[in-house]
């Protein structure tokens, strides 16, 4: 359930894009009729409607996610606040200029922000963020924690470049394909990485036993 909650905005973004893609004219009419004052030139084309609808829906879903956590008295993770800030910034540019290139940069910036935060924490504050997050559940040698932290930094940097490649090279003229990759391809790569990490950790946990 936590996983579904974490990817809720992503699922809403994907679902909204697909719905608007099947009802482009209705989506266009809604955007032009209700949000023209927030759009450069005052109107969008039918082809631009899906990404605009998806962006708005994704921002709203992220806000609702945060409000839910606050209402339940739970801590809102810094990563979620960062996601909202970047969603509003890049999403706002996408909506105003009706240009999907802006929102395509959001995943890369998030990945790289995570990588930078981990680098700064490790080399400036001498704090291993992965160790801090996982040490209560498992005990590992210091060198293994260092490798895990470095692996996640590398993963986030690489994922940032992969997103740019998919968005602006592989599917440069196919926003729908990028949306599908964002929802399933990137999530699948994350799962594969976590599985690989789990196998690696289990090996060292057995050694420790």
Task: For residue 130, give the nearest of 205, 206, 197, 85 by alpha carbon.
Answer: 197
Q: So what's the pLDDT on residue 208? A: 45
Distance CA 191, CA 151 (A): 14
pLDDT in tens, 25-82: 999 999 999 999 999 999 999 999 999 999 999 999 999 999 999 999 999 989 999 9
- Look at residues 40, 66, 99 and tell me which one is the last residue of a structural domain: 99
Do 59 and 44 share a structural domain? yes
pTM over 0.85, yes/no? yes
- 6 is in which domain, residue-wise? 1-99
pLDDT in tens, 136-189: 888 888 888 999 999 999 999 999 999 999 999 999 999 999 999 999 999 999
The angle at the Cα of 102, spanning 7 to 83, to the nearest 5 degrees, equals 35
Instruction: Say how many CA atoms lie within 13 Å of 209 toward its Cβ.
Output: 7
- Look at residues 80, 99, 118 and tell me which one is the last residue of a structural domain: 99
Structural domain count of the chain: 2
- Return the higher-pLDDT residue of 80 and 205: 80
Distance CA 189, CA 204 (A): 23
Distance CA 6, CA 10 (A): 9
pLDDT in tens, 76-116: 989 999 999 999 999 999 999 999 999 999 999 999 999 99
């Amino acid at each position: 359930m936590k996983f579904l909650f974490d990817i809720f905005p992503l699922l809403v973004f994907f679902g909204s894009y697909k719905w608007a893609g099947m009802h482009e004219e209705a989506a266009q009419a809604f955007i032009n009729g209700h949000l023209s004052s927030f759009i450069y030139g005052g109107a969008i084309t039918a082809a631009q409607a899906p990404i605009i609808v998806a962006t708005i829906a994704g921002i709203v879903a992220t806000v609702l996610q945060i409000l839910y956590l606050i209402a339940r008295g739970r801590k809102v993770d810094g990563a979620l606040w960062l996601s909202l800030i970047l969603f509003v910034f890049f999403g706002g540019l996408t909506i105003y200029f009706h240009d999907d290139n802006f929102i395509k940069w959001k995943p890369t910036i998030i990945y790289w922000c995570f990588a930078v935060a981990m680098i700064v924490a490790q080399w400036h504050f001498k704090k291993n963020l992965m160790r801090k997050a996982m040490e209560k559940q498992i005990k590992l040698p210091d060198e293994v924690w260092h490798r895990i932290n470095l692996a996640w930094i590398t993963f986030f940097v690489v994922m940032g470049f992969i997103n740019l490649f998919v968005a602006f090279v592989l599917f440069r003229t196919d926003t729908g394909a990028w949306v599908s990759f964002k929802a399933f391809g990137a999530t699948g790569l994350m799962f594969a990485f976590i599985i690989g990490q789990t196998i690696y950790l289990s090996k060292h946990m057995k050694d420790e036993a």
